Structures are given as structure tokens and as C-alpha cells.
Structure 1
Amino acid sequence: MSVYSMTGYASGQNGPAGTPPETDPRPLAAGRLGVEIRSVNSRFLDLTFKLPEDLRPYEPVLREMLTGRLKRGKVELRAAVESTAQGGVAEPSTRLLQRLNGVQDGIRAWLPSARELSVADVLRIAAGDSTSAGDWGSIVADVTRKALDGLVEAREREGARLAAMLKDHLGQLRKLTTQAVPLVPQLVEQQRTRFLERWQDAMGLTGGTLPEAAQDRALNEATAFAIRIDVAEELTRLGSHLDEIERLLKKGGEIGKRLDFLIQELHREANTLGSKSAALEMTRIGVDMKVLIEQMREQVQNIE
């Protein structure tokens, strides 16, 4: 399954792009319908609709379509109708004119004083007839589906790019972990030796010798200090988190929230690594890790 970003944009319209209204094979109402969908990152699925009044009745249908395909993100759907009649005037069909003529004859048979329909009356009726709800039903669904397909494809492409960047960062973090692992026993032994030497120097300054009990205490103190600076456990947990992130990226789907949690755990381990560091090289590794993890955090925040 693919990794999806929450960032994307797509649009759609009824009829092939660039098709003149009079040659468009699709049944048009009073204009050409255009739909734009854009999305950015969000903790939840937040939908906003900006529709003309004629399309307001279709908002529940559009909402159902979006929730069926998208799981997270701040999504805005904007629809607009562009008039296809010259000068914005809807031309009445022959069938409509015949129907109006028949209706007018029937009314005047009962109401001889009723006035005849004017051209303005006919055009107004034609405009209302062409924008009736029945004309827009399938068009709204089809155009929105076209735009939604484009949005999902755009989010998938962006998600693939983010996944590739995360995998590259995982590789760099693994290299840093590999560099840190052999430093751990060296640092522990180095600190124990240094602690004991300082204890012996202190005893030498007093002119005394180092009793066996004092030497044991020095070793215990050195061991306790070495335990406090031992980062082997942090490196093990960090490697485990890297394995889990890699597994999730291969799995795909709705992994954004899980990745965000794991990034927090990585940051915690890197912070502990830095605070326990007793050598300049280990400090450098910890800083490099935190820089990479922060970059990963920014990328993960855009993953669905």
C-alpha cells in the first residue's frame, strides 16, 4: 500500500478541456461546472465546501465522496459554474418553446385578458429550466470524482517523495548509531580508569596509601558513574524505533499518527544520548541525530 501525503491539489470540469460548449457531448445545464480540491496537513479530516447556491443541495453527497477516499487533512472543495451561453443568455430549446406555446394557449383560453409571454419571460424560464436540480445531479458527482481521483494521485506522488526522504534519513541515523555503538564500552572503561586514577592521586597528595577498602569503594564509584553514562540501552531502543518506522513505510496506508509518535520517541532517545555523553565524539553524534530527527518530524507531519 502506498504512503499518502496530506498535501495536494486537483481540478476537474464537465466535458474535455478546451471543448467549446456547443460541441460538448455531455448534457450541460446553463454552464460548465468546474471543481477544485486542495488539501494541506491537519490532525483530523476537516472539510470545507464553497459552492454556488444551485449546488448547495449536493453538499451531503460531496461530503460522503470525500470522506470515503480521504482520512486526514484540511480539505477545501470549491465549485463554480461558468455560463456557456453567449452573453450569459440561456438559449431556449425548440421543445421548451413548443411547450410554452401550448401552455400559453391553454391559459388564454380560460383567461383571455392574460398577456402574452415576452422574450424576457421566455429567457428567464429557459434559464430556470436549464439549471434545474435534475440537470446537475450526475454532472456534479462525475466532475467531483474526476477531481478527487486527481487529488488522491497527487497526494500519492507527494507521499512517495516523503517516504523516500524518510528512508534516506533512516539510513543516515543507522550510520550514526553504528558509529556510536563501539564508543560505548570504550567510554565506560575510560571513565572507570580515569575515576580510579583521580582517587589514587588524591590519596597520594595526603601522603597515605590506598587501602583495599578504599580501592573497592573507588571501583564501585567508578562503576556507578560508568552505568550512568552507558548509552547502550538508548542505542538499542533507537535502533528498534528505526526498524518500526521502516516497517510502517513499507506497509503504507494511514501511518501518519503512528510515525509521529515514533519520531517523538526517537527525539527522546537522542536527547538522553546527548545528556549522558561523556565524550566529544558522542556529543557530535547526538547533535547530528537530533538534526535528522527534526527534519523527519517536519516530513511526517504531512503524511496521512
Structure 2
Amino acid sequence: MTVSSMTGFARTDSGAEGFGWTWELRSVNGKGLDVRVRLNGGFERLEPAIRDAVSKRFKRGNLGVTLNVVRPGDTSAYRVNRDLLAELVTLAEEFDRDSSLSAGTIADLMNVRGVLETVEQQEDEDSREAVDAAIIKSFIEALDQMAAHRAEEGAKLDEMLRGHIDRIEETVLLAENCASVRSDAIKVKLKRQIDELMENGKFDPERLHQEAALLATKADIREEIDRLKAHIVAARDMIKKGGAIGRKLDFQCQEFNREANTLCSKANDIELTNCGMELKVIIDQLREQVQNVE
């Protein structure tokens, strides 16, 4: 499986039984899977099937689903509201008798709202089921299109994620090779500091030894380097596996950042400090891209 983005778009047009319709799907980043469905009146019955199909295909993302249906031209008929029309005619006749103004003709009265009503013809059960099946089929095609678009965006993300991790590895190796983190360099530095102190007063040699050992331990970043290398391997394995790995990668970024912070706190020279700061910058860039991963 490849890395999948949460960003995508799909649109399909189809028709059956005299109906025509358009599906439009839009997907953006989200912490979980949030599906918002907008359907034409009379097609709300399809919503459970739509939500079920989406949940089987995607794990994360804010997904907007819109269905626009054009009904057949011969499905509508007109009916005259005779009671309302009779009442209007009576009022018109009264105005004709009591006023010099014309009350209008029957054609004018027919334009009054509520006099002429639109009546939707009822579909038979077989026809409705055929239309529903065709609409759901084209929705599945829209989901396929959406999945392909998200995979295409995911391929671009994959390349960027791997690039960031490669840069993290390069910076970790640079930190590992800094002269200041080598054990002999630490020993030389501590010895020089102790010699300077010994020249200026008397100290307990055993206590100095303990303090020196403690300082050496605090200055040693080998554990942080080893953990960073392990996180690099884990992150690459996740990306190689693909699928819905966004949450796991986000947690991995937190682990990267924790080790980078510790490395910065232990840095005892400008070279190592620069490595730690560079790591933090790259990790932030990695985490920004991870927010787009499903």
C-alpha cells in the first residue's frame, strides 16, 4: 500500500429511468472521519448506504458528499386548487361591483400562489429501486475516483516524507560525528576543567571523580543518537507499509522532537547545538506534512 493523502476531489455524472444526477465529493484534512451528506429531497433514504460505503474506504478526513438529481420532464403534473380559485373569483366580482379598478382575469388569478399546484407523479417500487441502485453504483465510482486522487496526492507526500527523514538521518550522523561528543574529547575537556580547579584550591579527589563521572554521563548523547536512529527506521517502515498511518507518524514526530530537545539540552558546543536546532526545524517540517496523511 502507498501513503494516502486526506485531500481529494471527485465528480461523476450519470442517469437512469429518465433521471440524471451528479455526485460531487470533496475531502480535506481531519482528525477523524467526518462525512457531511447533502442529498436532493426524496433521496434521503440513500444516506445510510452512502455513509457505510465511505467508512469502508477511508479512515480519516472531512468528506463532503453532494448529490444533485434532475428529475424526468414528465414526472410533474399540475392541479388547480378549485376552492382557492372560487374564493378569488368571488372577491374579484366584489371588486368589479364596488371599484372602478379592474380585478383582473382568470389568467391573472391562476398566477396567484397556491392556485396552480405542482403534483409529482409517484414512481413504482421497481423503478425507484432501479434508480437507487444506479445512483449508488455511480457513487461507488466517485469513491474510486476520490481514492485514486488521494493516492496520487499521497505519492507526492511519500516523496516529501522520505526526503525529510533522509535529512534527519544526515543531521543525526553529523551530530554523532561531532568531536565534542566523542568520549576522548569529553575526557580531555573534563580533565582541563579539573586541573584548573585544582590549581586554585584543595578538593576531595574522590568527590571530584564522582562529579566528573556525572558530568560525563550528562554530556554523553549516545543514547539519544541510538533512539533517533531507531525512530528513523520505524518511520521508514511505516511509510513503506503505507495505508492509514497518519496518527502513527504524528506520534513518531513527537518522539523525534523529544530526542532533539534532549540533544539540545546536552549540547556543550556550538556545533552540536546547531545540529540539534537543525533537527528541530526538519522535524517540524516533517510533522507539517504528516498532518496531510490519512
TM-score, normalization by structure 1: 0.76
Show the counterpart of 1:68.
56
> 1:196 & 1:286 partners in 2: Cα distance?
26
Alignment check: 8 A CA contact 1:10 1:150 kept: yes
> 2:161 & 2:2 partners in 1: Cα distance?
14
Letter in 2 for 1:195: L
Q: 1:2 to 1:194 in 2, by over 3 A?
A: closer
Unaligned 5+ segments in structure 1 are 16-25, 93-119
Alignment check: 8 A CA contact 2:7 2:28 kept: yes
For 1:207-235, what per-residue CA distance to the aligned partner results, in whole angstroms no more than 9, with x for missing partners? xxx68x52x54343222101102111011
> 2:43 & 2:13 partners in 1: Cα distance?
14
Taking only the aligned residue pairs, the percentage that are identical comes to 32
> 1:28 & 1:71 partners in 2: Cα distance?
35
TM-score, normalization by structure 2: 0.78
How far did residue 66 of structure 1 move?
0.9
Alignment check: 8 A CA contact 2:180 2:272 kept: no
Is 2:169 aligned against 1:169?
A: no
For 1:165-204, what aligned pairs fall within 5 Å after superposition? 165-183=160-178, 186=181, 188-204=183-199
Q: 1:220 to 1:185 in 2, by over 3 A?
A: farther
Moved over 4 A (4+): 127-132, 184-188
Is 2:12 aligned against 1:12?
A: yes
Show the counterpart of 1:3.
3
> 2:132 & 2:22 partners in 1: Cα distance?
14
Is 2:69 aligned against 1:81?
A: yes
> 2:124 & 2:13 partners in 1: Cα distance?
18
For 1:176-223, what per-residue CA distance to the aligned partner results, in whole angstroms no more than 9, with x for missing partners? 1111112266454434333333333333235xxx68x52x54343222
1:133 aligns with one of 128, 137, 153 = 128
> 1:134 & 1:202 partners in 2: Cα distance?
92
2:244 aligns with one of 235, 254, 275 = 254
Is 2:74 aligned against 1:91?
A: yes
Alignment check: 8 A CA contact 1:33 1:80 kept: yes
Alignment check: 8 A CA contact 1:231 1:276 kept: yes
Show the counterpart of 1:59.
47
Is 2:232 aligned against 1:237?
A: no
Show the counterpart of 1:294.
284
CA RMSD of aligned residues (A): 2.8
> 2:191 & 2:232 partners in 1: Cα distance?
37
